[in-house]
Amino acid sequence: MPNEITTAILVMFALLLIIMIPSFKIVRKNEVMFIERFGKFHRMLDQPGIYFIMPLIDRNIETVSLDDIHIHKKVKYKENDLIKTVEIDYDMQVFDPKTFVYGSLDAKETIHQYIVDSIISEIDKEELIEETIDYAETYGFHIRNLNIK
């Protein structure tokens, strides 16, 4: 009888440990972590450290770096039954993490699509670069050194 109780206690402890370990989150310097509770924004962890989030209730939906990030992407699009390629190269820095995460499903992809749509509508390249930089700021990040080829 005591062996069965000990085994049951060990199994319960192991299950509890399996559930608890992923609940400790580490936020590094220049990072912001977004926690949702039951699918709604709960809090933003913006100070470096180790945090505990409620298991099975809270979840980390995204971790955003506040450092400069270099993006190089080739985007293909179709114009007049021809497939064309545009190379987009820029540095970005997030200044409003909450807008960056919740402003669009994928803010970077939204910017890439904006550039392609502007190229198709034949906007001047210098004007396109200025408009793209302004457009990106509505999604919570700055764009520097934007090159479109």
Residue-wise pLDDT for 51-93, tens only, equals 999 998 999 999 999 999 999 999 888 888 899 898 999 999 9
- Please tell me the pTM assigned to this model: 0.81
C-alpha torsion sign, points 121, 125, 126, 131? positive
Annotate the chain with three-state secondary structure.
CHHHHHHHHHHHHHHHHHHHHHHEEEECCCEEEEEEECCEEEEEECCCEEEECCCCCEEEEEEEECCCEEEEEEEEEEECCEEEEEEEEEEEEECCHHHHHHCCCCHHHHHHHHHHHHHHCCCCHHHHHHHHHHHHHCCCEEEEEEEEC
d(CA 129, CA 9): 63
Residue 31: per-residue pLDDT: 97
Domain map (residue ranges) of the chain: 23-66, 69-148
Residue 125: per-residue pLDDT: 86
Residue 1: per-residue pLDDT: 65
Q: Which residues in the chain show pLDDT less than 50?
A: none
C-alpha torsion sign, points 98, 103, 104, 105? positive
Phi, psi of 95 (to 5 degrees): -110, -20
Q: What is the dihedral of CA 149, 69, 42, 45, to 10 degrees?
A: -170
Residue 133: per-residue pLDDT: 93
Q: How many CB atoms lie within 10 A of CB 129?
A: 18
Residue 94: per-residue pLDDT: 96
